[in-house]
Amino acid sequence: MKKALIKALPKMALGSASLLALYLALAPRVAKRLYANMLFHPHPYPQGDYESGEIGGIKYEDVFFETADGTVLHAWYFEQKDAPFTILMSHGNTGNIAGRPALLESILKTGASLFVYDYRGFGRSRGRPSVDGVIDDACSAFDYLVDNRSVDSKNIVLYGESLGAAITCQLTLCRPARGMILQSGFASITKISKHHIPFMHIYPSSLYPQPLLDSVAVLRQGAHPPILIVHGHKDLVVPFSHGKELFENAVNKRFFVDFPEAEHSDIPLIAQERFVAAMKTFFDELQQH
């Protein structure tokens, strides 16, 4: 029996090595292309309304700008007269800027100017999306406003929708802003991945792409500006508990507005008046300090 066991050891070792190799090969940090296809769902141009030239009666300017690595991105710039702030919006992981008219209209109803851009690979933006790439896109959008449009960083309020909330949190680590609004955001990419894909529980955080998109960790550092968090109770994509966790871990001035009847993306549709009022109240708070 011992001889049989000794003979079987090489095969057992080979089998274990193969399993380990498979485990590592499928890790999010290694199989980046696989998980990028799961994380990002871009709608290429011309999907969406690119023809009207306005949202809610406010005209926009088509803008093309380059990122640090030379990727050309597309954005819409809504410049409103006497606007108290300019909103830099980072949207969710699906669609493009032309597919969010209700959300853009709600933001514009606050009286703020709005700069909303598409990540690389979305809409009319070039390239292919990746975690580090879309963070660079956000930094480049911020720099474009400051360097090319002479917008004072003290007058920029960051806005993140879903995945964009995590990107917005990352942006606060390297760019100053007056405030930030997180809509339907998740606590961390590891936590939301494990919620939707139980298989992901076998991977530690170290085997996820870096930066980790851990918004809770960012907020705990305390470098973030005043923050408004909005979340729907019926959100099945990013559970309401994630919004509460973000709020509980924010260490600077913070505000939370919940929407009992809202799901993941319909806050501007079913509760626009209250949504706009929440943002206006937040802007008033920012102007007082």
Q: Is the pLDDT of residue 285 over 90?
A: yes
At 22 the pLDDT is 65
- Residues 202-207: what's their mean pLDDT? 76
The packing angle between helices 131-148 and 163-171, to 10°, is: 60
What is the distance between the alpha carbons of residues 125 and 108, in angstroms, rounded to a whole number? 23
35 vs 150: which has the higher pLDDT: 150
At 32 the pLDDT is 63
Q: Is the pLDDT of residue 178 over 90?
A: yes
Query: Measuring CA to CA, how many Å separate 137 from each of 131, 142, 143, 243?
Result: 10, 9, 10, 24
Q: Is the pLDDT of residue 12 over 50?
A: no
Q: Is residue 4 part of a domain?
A: no
Q: Is residue 266 part of a domain?
A: yes
Residues 17-54 pLDDT 10s: 766 676 766 666 665 666 678 789 999 999 999 999 99
Q: Could you tell me if residue 74 is left (phi over 0), alpha (psi between -120 and 50 degrees) or otherwise beta?
A: beta
CATH for 251: 3.40.50.1820
Find the distance separating the first CA and the last CA of the chain, reported in whole Å: 79
Q: Is the pLDDT of residue 9 over 60?
A: no
Q: Is residue 3 part of a domain?
A: no
Alpha helices by DSSP H, the chain: 2-25, 32-39, 101-108, 131-148, 163-171, 189-196, 215-221, 240-249, 267-270, 272-287
Q: Which domain holds residue 203?
A: 9-287
What is the distance between the alpha carbons of residues 37 and 35, in angstroms, rounded to a whole number? 5
Averaged pLDDT score across all residues of the chain: 90
Sheet-wide strand order for 156-161 = 61-66, 72-78, 113-117, 86-90, 156-161, 179-183, 227-232, 254-259
At 264 the pLDDT is 97
Domain count, the chain: 1
Please say whether the beta carbons of 160 and 168 come within 8 A. yes
The packing angle between helices 131-148 and 32-39, to 10°, is: 60
pTM here? 0.90
Spatial CA neighbour of 197 closest among 75, 28, 7, 29: 28
Q: Is residue 1 part of a domain?
A: no
Q: Is residue 116 part of a domain?
A: yes
- Residues 217-224: what's their mean pLDDT? 92
What is the distance between the alpha carbons of residues 254 and 186, in angstroms, rounded to a whole number? 17
Kindly calculate the radius of gyration of the chain based on its CA atoms and give it in whole angstroms.
Answer: 21
Q: Is the pLDDT of residue 11 over 60?
A: no
Calculate the CA 52 to chain-centre distance: 26
- Residues 225-252: what's their mean pLDDT? 97
Q: Is the pLDDT of residue 198 over 60?
A: yes
pLDDT band at 66 (very low <50, low <70, confident <90, very high): very high
Q: Is residue 167 part of a domain?
A: yes
Q: In three state form, how does the secondary structure of 156-190 look?
A: EEEEEECHHHHHHHHHCCCCCCCEEEEECCCCEHH
Q: Is the pLDDT of residue 6 over 70?
A: no
What is the distance between the alpha carbons of residues 186 and 182, in angstroms, rounded to a whole number? 9
Please say whether the beta carbons of 162 and 153 come within 8 A. no
At 246 the pLDDT is 98
pLDDT band at 193 (very low <50, low <70, confident <90, very high): confident
pLDDT band at 223 (very low <50, low <70, confident <90, very high): confident
One-letter amino acid at 140 equals S
Q: Which residue has the tokens 């008046």?
A: 273
Residues 102-140 pLDDT 10s: 999 999 999 999 999 999 999 999 999 999 999 999 999
